[in-house]
C-alpha cells in the first residue's frame, strides 16, 4: 500500500426505518483535523483525475454508485515513490480511503448511475490560494490506464 494511505471498511447498519453508515470519526486513526466536508458527483464513465494537494489530506467515501479510485505516489521522500494503487469503492464495497498530502488521486464512475462522493478534508478550501495541483487524466507522468481490465 502507498505510504500514508489508510482504508477503513464502513459498516452499514440497516433496520426497518432505513440505514446508517458512519464515515469518519474524530477517534479514527486516519483523522488528523477537520477542514470541511463536501459532496461531489460523477456521471457514469466520467474520469475526474489527476489532482494532488500539498497540504490537504482527503478522506473519500462513496454513498451512492461505484468508483474506481486510483492513487499515485510521486513523493521523493516516500518509500512507495512511483507506486500506483487502485480501489473499487461505493455501494457494493463501502470503504473510506484516506489520501495523504502529496499523493495524486482521481476516479472514474463505474456504476450505471451517478456516483455521489463525500470527502472530509483536513483543510478548508482556500479560494485565494487553492491547494490544487492537476495533471490530465491521460498524462504520461502517471503509469495508469483508466480502461476496464478484462480477464
Cβ pair 64, 115 in contact under 8 A: yes
Q: What is the pLDDT of residues 4-61, one digit of tens each?
A: 999 999 999 999 999 999 999 999 999 999 999 999 999 999 999 999 999 999 999 9
Question: Which pTM value belongs to this model?
Answer: 0.96
Please work out, in degrees rounded to the nearest 5, the angle formed at the alpha carbon of residue 32 by the alpha carbons of 31 and 33: 105
Enter the C-alpha cell of residue 99. Answer: 489520501
Sequence-distant (≥ 6) Cβ neighbours of residue 17 within 8 angstroms:
none
Domains, the chain, in order of start with CATH, read 6-12+19-124 (2.60.120.10)
Q: Which of 44, 50, 51, 55 is nearest to 116 (CA)?
A: 44
Amino acid at each position: 500500500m502507498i505510504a500514508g494511505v489508510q482504508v477503513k471498511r464502513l459498516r452499514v447498519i440497516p433496520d426497518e426505518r432505513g440505514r446508517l453508515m458512519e464515515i469518519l470519526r474524530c477517534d479514527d486513526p486516519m483523522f488528523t483535523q477537520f477542514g470541511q466536508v463536501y459532496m461531489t458527483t460523477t456521471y457514469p464513465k466520467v474520469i475526474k483525475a489527476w489532482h494532488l494537494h500539498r497540504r490537504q489530506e482527503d478522506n473519500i467515501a462513496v454513498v451512492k454508485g461505484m468508483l474506481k479510485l486510483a492513487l499515485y505516489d510521486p513523493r521523493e521522500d516516500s518509500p512507495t515513490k512511483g507506486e500506483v494503487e487502485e480501489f473499487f469503492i461505493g455501494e457494493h464495497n463501502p470503504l473510506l480511503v484516506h489520501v495523504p498530502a502529496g499523493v495524486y488521486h482521481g476516479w472514474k464512475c463505474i456504476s450505471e448511475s451517478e456516483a455521489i462522493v463525500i470527502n472530509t478534508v483536513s483543510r478548508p478550501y482556500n479560494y485565494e490560494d487553492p491547494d490544487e495541483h492537476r495533471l490530465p487524466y491521460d498524462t504520461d507522468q502517471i503509469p495508469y490506464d483508466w480502461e476496464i481490465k478484462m480477464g
